[in-house]
Chains A and B, each alone.
Chain A
């Protein structure tokens, strides 16, 4: 007996129909290319160059100015580390907004990669009783200290392990990055991160044209789209050019320190060797490369 409506023929027909519809509608081929684009790590140099050129053109069309999208790989012999002086931070949130601006985070709906927690000195580091929405006239407030939290760039990152499509990974210089084109938006990584460092684009991200930062890295601050996860990359577009991250440069009290953990002369190594240092949620053994210390 002949089977007219088999599953096989259904699938065959539907894919045929889709392709012909795409071809007929004259749908723009770039979007189609983008849809078929492979994971960033499997792309050849030639493919990367082409994709980046397309991106630069696309951004220019959308925002009306020149863009530079880099795909600079890790500098050999670097492992980035970060240290934050808890005895200095006054909770002014300058870092939060410098980060938003540098990394083209969505203004509406709002996304912040850095969250500053206010904690009672009497209780110590206590997330359950911390407050991120403090808003007094002046900071610091008496009896409180401030603990900014962002991606801790773990050596043992569970967000990477749980990703079902390998859209996020740790680069050789220790930065955990996301391929926004490969991310399927399942948010497993957000569930796996105990620091709340990953953020989801619930809506179409919105960055004012005049405020957009045109110096970009493919794995960093290029514009994201709705339905993908993003996170702090130690300002990969700056760090790999030898510059300090934006949060380090803005901090008015100099509480934020950044450098190469493999360089024995770096300030980060000095801190690890000479100051009292801690990492958050040490018991989880994620081994952050983001250290907190007491400078006094």
Chain B
């Protein structure tokens, strides 16, 4: 009687042992799912704090700003620009209720941007300025999730500045003309 119960129990234990045993072996063999080279992982060539970015997209003949501004008296009063930069006034749509030129551009040195702290900032680092408000996007951009990266997936990468895709004065992404649709299956000869 006892023996009759024991045999299936033993058999089942064996089966279970075999099953798990095999599984473990399989995953051991499956080397592609393992990271085996820890040391190499740690010496990443692209672990830099500063980012390789393309040059800022200035409109022709606008930079350096001091070419014109050196001879102009700075006027800190908020106003609508009519004589110069009226093209920017016309499209300006970046929290325009509350902000204007000198929230990002420096009053005294026009060749630089200005952080909220008062620190001057080169145009090549404008992402820091954008990141003051758009922290979440900045965080994603730094790790290469927001925006486009070109270069090597396992090496040197090139970033685009925020302003390459978003006009800083009117940042909504512009609509695009789509490429032609695929030929319908019934029209393929």
Contacts and interface: CB of A to CB of B under 8 A. Distances in A.
Given A254-B147, A257-B145, A260-B153, A135 B36 contact: no
Main secondary structure, interface of A, reads loop
Nearest to B177: A138
Interface stretch (B16-24, B50-58, B179-187): B179-187
B189 interface: yes
B176 A174 contact: no
Contact of A77 (B35, B145, B181, B182): B35
Interface string A226-260: 00000000000001001110001101111001111
B180 A135 contact: yes
Interface string A49-88: 0000000000000000000000000011111000001000
Nearest to B36: A77
Nearest to B159: A254
Contact of B189 (A109, A137, A271, A295): A109
Contacts of A295: 140, 145-146
Nearest to A80: B153
A65 to B, nearest CB: 26
Contacts of A259: 153-154
B150 A77 contact: no
A41 interface: no
Interface stretch (A10-18, A23-31, A93-101): A93-101
A186 interface: no
B44 A133 contact: no
B35 A267 contact: no
A100 to B, nearest CB: 10
Contacts of A139: 175-178
B37 interface: yes
B32 A93 contact: no
A92 interface: yes
Contact of B155 (A76, A242, A249): A242
Contact of A244 (B151, B175, B178, B184): B151
Nearest to B143: A270
B69 interface: no
28 contacts: A75-B154, A77-B40, A90-B173, A91-B178, A92-B177, A93-B180, A97-B179, A109-B188, A110-B183, A132-B181, A133-B182, A135-B180, A138-B175, A139-B175, A242-B153, A244-B150, A244-B152, A244-B153, A249-B150, A252-B165, A253-B148, A257-B144, A258-B153, A259-B153, A260-B154, A263-B154, A267-B145, A295-B140
Interface of A: 75-79, 85, 90-94, 96-97, 109-110, 112, 115, 132-140, 172-174, 202-203, 239, 242-244, 248-249, 251-254, 257-260, 262-267, 270-271, 275, 295
